[in-house]
């Protein structure tokens, strides 16, 4: 997959294009990518334009945390066999582009778009004046336009904002159902304070990106992906108050039945379900007794 950070560096032929925040790559996003793949031929490019930061954050409309960090988003698009990913870094300038310039200078001149795929609520251009009808009118039949209806889930529309609400409230199972995958953290394993090792429960420690949304602090049923292997485990998200009041925020996972040297390796920690909130214990013995109970519960779960 070719990655660009500036739209001005791009010059392509025969592109099948979609544009959006693509935060989380939920079931609606996957339908868009699926339609793009249906249109692909040997001499065409699957092209996604997305953003290095949330547009609302840049424009000051809100301050949303991301379901997927930049690196996680790149990894997921690679898995979806996208040919070209344009990760816009100068988000404000892109959003201030006129709708007419977006169609003429980007879709037609730079990308040679032959098919544009979007949701029926797609908006673009300065002040969001562009929509699907604008595209149809101003493309003058120079490329095909496929607009897809919003997908419904439990009497509501699937959206990244709705998924963020589920994650923030700890409803990981519902978030995962809308994502069609597991909410996860991808990062480099760091050294912790080795308390888990001393308790004969070594852990994998990952520090989450500050821009990534976090579920409530607590314990979660999880799996850890290492290369092509996936292992069942149990994850604590928080600051480990029993150990120290100054402990930095982390995602700490004990992998069942294996003891691997993973320091400085990249892993993915997938969350399946919330077990209990984080709490402070009087001592490490109490903590270990509770963790044993948590582990027993997770071992009996089907993940």
CB-count exposure of residue 61 (10 Å: 0-12, 13-18, 19+): exposed
Q: Which helix (H) or strand (E) holds 174?
A: helix 172-179
Domain annotation for the chain: domains and CATH numbers: 2-157 (3.40.50.620), 182-299 (2.40.30.30)
pLDDT for residue 200 is more than 70: no
Q: What average pLDDT does the chain have? A: 90
Taking only Cα atoms into account, the Rg of the chain, rounded to an integer number of angstroms, comes to 22
User: Residue 260 — very low, low, confident or very high, per pLDDT cuts 50/70/90?
Assistant: confident
Cα(66)–Cα(21) distance, integer angstroms: 10
Cα(10)–Cα(149) distance, integer angstroms: 30
DSSP strand pairing (84-88 vs 45-51)? parallel
Residue 190: the pLDDT is 87
Identify which of 248, 253, 272 has the alpha carbon closest to the alpha carbon of residue 204. Answer: 253
Residue partners of 189: CB distance under 8 A and separation at least 6: 204, 205, 206, 262, 263, 264, 265, 266, 267
The pTM of the full predicted model, rounded to 2 decimals, is: 0.89
Neighbours of 223 (CB within 10 A): 20
Query: Are 75 and 31 a contacting pair, CB within 8 Å?
Result: no
Tens-digit pLDDT profile for residues 60-94: 666 789 999 999 999 999 999 999 999 999 988 99
C-alpha distances in Å from residue 23, one per residue of 5, 55, 209, 236: 17, 11, 15, 24
Cα(143)–Cα(120) distance, integer angstroms: 17
What is the average per-residue pLDDT within 133-147? 93
Tens-digit pLDDT profile for residues 229-245: 999 999 999 987 655 55
Residue 248: the pLDDT is 76
Query: Are 174 and 155 a contacting pair, CB within 8 Å?
Result: no
Portion of the chain with pLDDT greater than 70, in percent = 93
Cα(78)–Cα(3) distance, integer angstroms: 10
Residue 280 exposure: Cα atoms within 13 Å on the Cβ side:
9
pLDDT for residue 59 is more than 90: no
């Amino acid at each position: 997959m070719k990655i660009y950070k500036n739209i001005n560096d791009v010059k392509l032929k025969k592109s099948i294009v979609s544009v959006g925040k693509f935060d989380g790559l939920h079931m609606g996003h996957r339908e868009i990518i699926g339609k793009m793949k249906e249109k692909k031929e040997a001499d065409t490019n699957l092209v996604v334009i997305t953003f290095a930061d949330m547009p609302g954050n840049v424009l000051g409309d809100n301050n949303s945390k991301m379901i997927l960090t930049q690196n996680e988003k790149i990894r997921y698009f690679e898995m979806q066999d996208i040919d070209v990913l344009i990760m816009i870094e100068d988000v404000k300038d892109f959003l201030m582009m006129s709708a007419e310039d977006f169609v003429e200078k980007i879709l037609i001149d730079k990308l040679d778009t032959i098919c544009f795929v979007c949701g029926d609520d797609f908006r673009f251009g300065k002040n969001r004046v562009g929509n699907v009808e604008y595209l149809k009118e101003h493309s003058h039949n120079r490329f095909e336009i496929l607009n897809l209806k919003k997908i419904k889930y439990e009497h509501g529309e699937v959206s990244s904002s709705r998924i963020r609400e589920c994650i923030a409230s700890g409803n990981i199972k519902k978030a995962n159902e809308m994502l069609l995958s597991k909410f996860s953290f991808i990062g480099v394993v760091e050294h912790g304070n080795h308390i888990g090792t001393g308790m004969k429960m070594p852990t994998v420690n990952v520090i989450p990106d500050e821009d990534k949304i976090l579920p409530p602090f607590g314990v979660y049923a999880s799996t850890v992906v290492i290369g092509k292997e996936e292992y069942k485990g149990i994850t604590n998200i928080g600051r480990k108050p029993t150990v120290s009041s100054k402990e930095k925020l982390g995602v700490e996972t004990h992998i069942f039945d294996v003891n691997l040297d993973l320091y400085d390796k990249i892993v993915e920690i997938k969350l399946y379900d919330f077990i209990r909130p984080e709490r402070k214990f009087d001592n490490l013995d109490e903590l270990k007794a509770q963790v044993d109970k948590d582990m027993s519960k997770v071992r009996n779960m089907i993940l």
